[in-house]
Amino acid sequence: MSAVAPAVASRFELGMTRALYEWWLLIALAVVWIAASALNLIPNSVFPDAQTLARATVDLVTGKVGVLGKLTDHVWISFARFAAGYSIAAGIGILIGLLMATSSLIAALILPILRLLYPIPGLAWTPLVIMWAGIGENAVIVLIFLSAVWPIVYGAYDGFRNIPRNYMLVCRQLGATWNVRVRRVLLPAALPMLFSGLRLGHGMGWRAIVGAEMIAAVTGVGYMLNMGGELRRPDVVVVGMIVIAIMSALLDRFVFGTLEDRLISRWKR
Amino acid sequence: MDSPASPPMIEIENVTKVFSTQDNRNLKTIDDIQLSIAQGEFICLLGPSGCGKSTLLNLIAGFETPSAGIVACAGKPVVAPGPDRGVVFQEHTLFEWMTVSNNVSFGLTCNPDIRARFPDAAGRTQACIDLVGLRGFENTFPNFLSGGMKQRAAIARSLAPDPAILLMDEPFGALDAQTRFIMQNELLKIWQTTQKTIVFVTHSIEEAVFLADRIVVMTKRPARIKEIVKLDMPRPRNINDPMLSDIKSRLYDSMASESVMI
Amino acid sequence: MKYWIRRTVSIWATVLCIVLWQLMCVVLSIEPFILPSPILVYHSLVQYHEPIMIHAMQTLFTTLVGFAIAVAFGLLLGLAIGVERAVYDGLYPMMIAFNSIPKVAIVPLLVIWFGIGTVPAILTAFLISFFPIVVNVATGLATIEPELQDVLRSLGARKRQIVMRVGIPRSMPYFFASLKVAITLAFIGSVVSESIASNAGIGYLMIAASARFDVALVFAGFVVISVMGVIMYEVTAYAERKFTFWATRANDIVT
Amino acid sequence: MTADTPFIKLDRVSLTYQSRDSSTHALDETDMTISTGEFIAVVGPSGCGKSSLLKLVSGLHPATSGNVVVAGQKVTGPLKISGMAFQNATLLPWRTTLDNVLLPLQIVEPHASRFRKHRDQYEAMAMELLKLVGLDGFETKYPWELSGGMQQRSSLCRALIHEPQMLLLDEPFGALDAFTREELWGVLQKLWMTRKPTVILVTHDLREAVYLSDTVYVMSARPGRIISKTNVALPRPRTLRDTFKPEFIEMAQNLRLQISEGMGV
């Protein structure tokens, strides 16, 4: 790159070079896949080629594959279920974490149970939840809750527990009111860990939703994906996988990423 | 001990502090300390690490209560922490999520009584920031400041509610030698401008000799007063002063007998 | 005495929970198809111990095979990524993308390729558990203190020597810490895969039992899962303590 | 005290670090001449390029312009005749103290190829060094079983085990408390007086610099430049009591003033 080139062009070039450098494997794989599709080297019963995948996407979006319904409907349903289960998990998780951090007695009572339940995969609850809540909305929401709540509890507990003692001493010395202590000191001080718990819980909940819909629902992206498998349609399965990956990445990047930039990255190094 | 001319600002009378440990043993950290500190005096508490200097400071601040004896400030016994006694710690002092100016104004806005006392909180905040030499960094977050600047901000915050007493717990202990020297000079300037009474905990002989009116040397745990060294030299002090080197030599021997070498 | 109580507090808490559960079932006379009492669950365990054993062995087998592949693959990939910058650059975006796909979503594809049964379960266990191993091994290699590298380079050490003498031993605590996570994930992977697409294994057993509304057997499956999970975790935790006892800085290890 | 032939010579050396979107001018046109067996200290404000100097002399980083000559040869890559120690002891936690000290011998030639056969001999060498720094009896302990001061002692042994001609120290005692630090000055002085390597010590602590070195160089704030050179003519071995003598204090005070001027305060 020449030093006299205008800054804009050189930055663009630099960006392109870097992207190429960092994404070479992905780009290479995509090229191989497209080339193999063009030469009809991949049997569609094993992995969809480019044309099939594109057609499947269009068909699913427009709802042409009758039994499978419309992709957009599934996306919305999955999203709504996730929002419901996750909000409950966030509310209850933060509350429990806060209670544990404020009282060592509560912590001593809850921690052993938490240690016991945390390692149990959210989806292992599926058979039980199906029996209690039946197949459908409630079961999926409960399963998302059960998957997402544990890291949130731990995040809140760690966040509120690890507030440096000096912060509280400063508050006492300056005579800060209870309201000021909670709003301006305790919450912001706990926020980084609390937030990382929420973010981890988001990932866990999102992973659970697919499995939960596969087993315990008749709508949603997970259900569509499972049906794709049963209908022996690799193209449908792959579309489902891509949609899920995009949804989760979008939520993580845009919702949590933005919140983190706004609330934490400004001051935390 | 010679009695100060004006009535004492801080009076520590036969104070003992005993902590009970987890296995129900009693640990005496401070043993029968008697000390009175005059208004406007600069006192350094000097002693080996973990000897109970900080406990004594916490007793004055009101974070701890004595097991026996009385601590009084401005004639009133200390029962709780209060804005009349500003505290500066070694670390974790600034609220990371607040800018410098929000940190400094925190003490002026955190309860209604204080808010009534300082109607012009913004002006007072700016004055304190200027005093510690942080003008231009009002909107910077603490994590983007150097160690020395962080401590400047912490000093400004504790000065904001205009306390009569400043309690400092090894405030420059985490800074490098150069910065520490600059900060010591800065602190003396602030002390001379504001006329506060300062109690400063340190384990550095050099620091104590450079700063203090009186150095209170403490024994290892349980802390007692080993000796009190009075320094009359004017400031800024010249480290070349042969008087100072004699005192340093003496303090070194005094301290060495109290610490366990590795 | 006190120390002894503290060490065993989680056992006591578990016992307490079971007793409370039993009392609750008896006092409130809860219907067994809603919540069976611990005694009923125990009876179910005894009654069905033979099929439970067979299914548990199946799950153990798929988990361990998947885990073994993940360890071998994860270790190699982690070393490659940690040592070679170009491999890191090329693989990292793809790993991030891969990690954001819930692994369960791959099960239907695996079923299309390999049919229902053992292979998808093993592959799910593998796919779900290799990621933390890779990340940890690479982290251990990539975070060698720059000063230490200076010391070694000033002695004329070649890259291979730095990796062998420092990099690999240094990444071992990270590796063993990741095994604890990976074994749990592998176990999750095989159970979940069994629940969706298998005719054997504890996951399948529980789904089958719930279809027959045999609540006690579902709970029995739950108990078996917990016990197996705890045992596998403890074995890897033991290996960690044994092989990397010198790593006291446990808290800077990525999990 | 020192021989006449210059062992290290810096001739108008500049160093600029180039990163993706910025460049840092760390050293500017620096000249230095260090004799064989001399103990020099470099002091200056934080981030003034003191550590860069060590990287140049050790050959870990090439100069942007100018020449670095060590032992009569132009430096183009790592020299293998230097030992290094840093503020962070960087001992390997899976090796005992003895094995940590032996590490350089497993890497540097000609020792590396002979190491297995002559292990006993090398261990005896290491034990001798450990004894010199007062660590005999701790050779089978792991680094995490040692205090900070002891770790730093082992780090010094590791830096010296292959009998380097040159010892490069980057604030080696910066993380220790005052008492331990002052005790280790004595240890380092003893090591230097027995082994006589050429030492470059980078430090913040002016008393440390005066206590230990023959010559103290003061560097200016970034870009670093040598702004003064002070000979310390105090007799050896020096003791802590010497640090309270007027000539010692005066020297430290002068250095402090020079640094303040270099910072533009």
A158 pLDDT tier (thresholds 50, 70, 90): very high
C-alpha D207/C-alpha A157 separation (Å) is 47
What's the pLDDT at B222? 85
A69 pLDDT tier (thresholds 50, 70, 90): confident
CA D115 to chain centre: 26
Residue B229, H or E segment: strand B225-230
Query: Are residue C8 and residue C82 in the same domain, yes or no?
Result: no
Name which of A166, A249, A260 is nearest A206 in CA terms.
Answer: A249
The total number of structural domains in chain C stands at 2
Of B253 and A177, more confident: A177
Which stretch of A16-20, A28-32, C86-90 has the lowest confidence by average pLDDT? A16-20
**Closest partner CB to A127 (pick from C9, C100, C210):** C210
Of D108 and B139, more confident: B139
Of C149 and A22, more confident: C149
C-alpha A132/C-alpha A144 separation (Å) is 15
What's the pLDDT at C249? 45
- Reported for C230-233, long-range contacts at CB under 8 A and 24+ positions apart, including other chains, are C230/A119, C232/C63, C232/C183, C232/C184, C232/C187, C233/A119, C233/C180, C233/C183, C233/C184
Place of tokens 């380079």: C153
Query: Are residue C44 and residue C169 in the same domain, yes or no?
Result: yes
Has residue C252 got a pLDDT over 60?
A: no
Helix, strand, or coil here: A97?
helix
Residues on chain C touching D78 (C-beta within 8 angstroms):
153-156
> Average per-residue pLDDT in chain B?
87
Residue C231 in contact with residue C223, Cβ under 8 Å?
Answer: no
Query: Are residue C221 and residue C191 in the same domain, yes or no?
Result: yes
Query: Are residue C63 and residue C125 in the same domain, yes or no?
Result: yes
The total number of structural domains in chain D stands at 1
Query: Are residue C2 and residue C98 in the same domain, yes or no?
Result: no
Residue A220 in contact with residue A229, Cβ under 8 Å?
Answer: no
Name which of C232, C244, B32 is nearest D92 in CA terms.
Answer: C244
CATH number at C117 reads 1.10.3720.10
What's the pLDDT at A3? 38
C-alpha C206/C-alpha C186 separation (Å) is 18
Residues on chain C touching D94 (C-beta within 8 angstroms):
169-170, 172, 244, 246-247
Instruction: Give me the mean pLDDT over the A114-126 stretch.
Output: 77
Nearest CA in chain B to D182: B261
Of B210 and A114, more confident: B210
Of C91 and B168, more confident: B168
The answer to whether the Cβ–Cβ distance between D180 and B204 falls below 8 Å is no
Helix, strand, or coil here: A234?
helix
Residue D140 in contact with residue D171, Cβ under 8 Å?
Answer: no
Nearest C-alpha of chain C: how many angstroms from A197? 13
Query: Are residue C170 and residue C217 in the same domain, yes or no?
Result: yes
Which stretch of A105-119, C21-35, C125-139 has the lowest confidence by average pLDDT? A105-119
Residue B205, H or E segment: helix B205-211
Has residue D172 got a pLDDT over 70?
A: yes
What's the pLDDT at C94? 79
**Closest partner CB to C14 (pick from A116, A120, A238):** A116
The phi-psi region of residue A60 (left if phi > 0; otherwise alpha if psi is between -120 and 50; otherwise beta) is: alpha
B108-144 pLDDT, tens per residue? Answer: 999 898 899 999 999 999 999 999 999 999 999 999 9
Query: Are residue C67 and residue C9 in the same domain, yes or no?
Result: no
C-alpha B152/C-alpha C152 separation (Å) is 40
C255 pLDDT tier (thresholds 50, 70, 90): very low
What's the pLDDT at B187? 95
Residue D151 in contact with residue D143, Cβ under 8 Å?
Answer: yes
C-alpha D121/C-alpha D114 separation (Å) is 10
C-alpha D230/C-alpha D226 separation (Å) is 11
Please check whether residue D116 lies inside any domain of the structure. yes
Q: In sequence order, what DSSP letters do the residues of D192-228 get, joined into one string?
A: HHHH--EEEEEES-HHHHHHH-SEEEEEPSSSB-EEE
Q: Tell me which residue range forms the domain holding D91.
A: 39-51+83-262
B16-52 pLDDT, tens per residue? Answer: 999 887 667 788 888 999 999 999 999 999 987 777 8
Has residue A4 got a pLDDT over 60?
A: no
For chain B, give the percent of residues with pLDDT over 70. Answer: 94
What's the pLDDT at C134? 92
Select, from the ranges A46-55, B223-232, C68-77, the one with the highest average predicted confidence (pLDDT): C68-77
For chain C, give the percent of residues with pLDDT over 70. Answer: 93
What's the pLDDT at D4? 59
Which stretch of B98-107, B150-159, D38-47, D161-170 has the lowest confidence by average pLDDT? D38-47
Query: Are residue C67 and residue C193 in the same domain, yes or no?
Result: yes
Please check whether residue D1 lies inside any domain of the structure. no
Instruction: Give me the mean pLDDT over the B168-196 stretch.
Output: 88
Query: Are residue C168 and residue C186 in the same domain, yes or no?
Result: yes
Instruction: Give me the mean pLDDT over the A26-51 stretch.
Output: 85
**Alpha helix positions (H), chain C:** 2-7, 9-27, 38-47, 49-83, 85-100, 107-114, 118-142, 146-154, 159-162, 168-197, 202-211, 215-243
D107 contact C CB<8A: yes
What's the pLDDT at D21? 65
| Best mutation target, D51, D103, D160, D200, to test chain C (most C CBs within 10 A) | D103
Nearest C-alpha of chain C: how many angstroms from A85? 17
The answer to whether the Cβ–Cβ distance between A184 and B63 falls below 8 Å is no
Query: Are residue C54 and residue C106 in the same domain, yes or no?
Result: yes
What's the pLDDT at C253? 38
Query: Are residue C19 and residue C58 in the same domain, yes or no?
Result: no
Encoded tokens for B174 = 């985490």
> Average per-residue pLDDT in chain A?
85
**Closest partner CB to B81 (pick from A172, A184, A188):** A172
Has residue B261 got a pLDDT over 60?
A: no
Place of tokens 């070479």: A24
What's the pLDDT at C250? 38
A79 pLDDT tier (thresholds 50, 70, 90): very high
pTM over 0.90: no
Residue D178, H or E segment: helix D178-195
C133 contact A CB<8A: no
Partners of B167 in the beta sheet?
B87, B199
**Closest partner CB to C156 (pick from D84, D90, D108):** D108
**Closest partner CB to D88 (pick from C147, C161, C247):** C147
Please check whether residue D225 lies inside any domain of the structure. yes
Encoded tokens for A209 = 């939703």
C-alpha D109/C-alpha B108 separation (Å) is 67
Please check whether residue C69 lies inside any domain of the structure. yes
Backbone angles phi, psi at A93, to 5 degrees: -60, -45
D104 contact C CB<8A: yes
Name which of B134, B137, B108, B110 is nearest B120 in CA terms.
Answer: B108
Q: In sequence order, what DSSP letters do the residues of C214-239 get, joined into one string?
A: -HHHHHHHHHHHHHHHHHHHHHHHHH
Name which of B151, B144, B136 is nearest B101 in CA terms.
Answer: B136
Please check whether residue D58 lies inside any domain of the structure. no
C-alpha D140/C-alpha B12 separation (Å) is 50
CA distances from residue D246 to A91, B178, D178 in whole angstroms, order as listed: 68, 21, 21
Give the strand order in the sheet containing B26-38.
B26-38, B8-20, B68-73, B76-77
Please check whether residue D60 lies inside any domain of the structure. no
Angle D144-D208-D189 (CA atoms, 0-180°, nearest 5)? 75
Q: Tell me which residue range forms the domain holding C126.
A: 34-247
The phi-psi region of residue D85 (left if phi > 0; otherwise alpha if psi is between -120 and 50; otherwise beta) is: beta
Please check whether residue C254 lies inside any domain of the structure. no
C-alpha A226/C-alpha A69 separation (Å) is 13
C-alpha A213/C-alpha A226 separation (Å) is 9
Query: Are residue C13 and residue C94 in the same domain, yes or no?
Result: no
Has residue C83 got a pLDDT over 50?
A: yes
C5 pLDDT tier (thresholds 50, 70, 90): low
Select, from the ranges A45-54, C3-12, C69-78, the one with the highest average predicted confidence (pLDDT): C69-78
Name which of D208, D226, D222 is nearest D45 in CA terms.
Answer: D222
Q: What is the CA radius of gyration of chain C?
A: 22
Name which of C113, C107, C103 is nearest A43 in CA terms.
Answer: C113
CATH number at D257 reads 3.40.50.300
C-alpha A233/C-alpha A251 separation (Å) is 28
Backbone angles phi, psi at A231, to 5 degrees: -85, 5
B149 pLDDT tier (thresholds 50, 70, 90): very high
ipTM above 0.90, yes or no: no
CA distances from residue C233 to A31, A169, C135, C240, D128 in whole angstroms, order as listed: 42, 41, 19, 11, 46
**Closest partner CB to D80 (pick from C156, C169, C247):** C156
Nearest CA in chain B to A168: B93
Residues on chain D touching B179 (C-beta within 8 angstroms):
46
Instruction: Give me the mean pLDDT over the D87-103 stretch.
Output: 91
Interface of B with D in 120-159 (CB under 8 A): none
Chain A interface residues facing chain B, Cβ-Cβ under 8 Å? 164-167, 169-177, 180, 184-185, 188-189, 191, 266-269
What's the pLDDT at A47? 85
Name which of A115, A103, A69, A49 is nearest A226 in CA terms.
Answer: A69
C7 pLDDT tier (thresholds 50, 70, 90): low
D173-200 pLDDT, tens per residue? Answer: 988 877 788 889 999 999 999 989 999 9
Please check whether residue D11 lies inside any domain of the structure. no
B218-244 pLDDT, tens per residue? Answer: 888 788 899 999 998 888 887 667 778
D37-74 pLDDT, tens per residue? Answer: 999 999 987 766 788 888 889 888 888 888 899 988 88
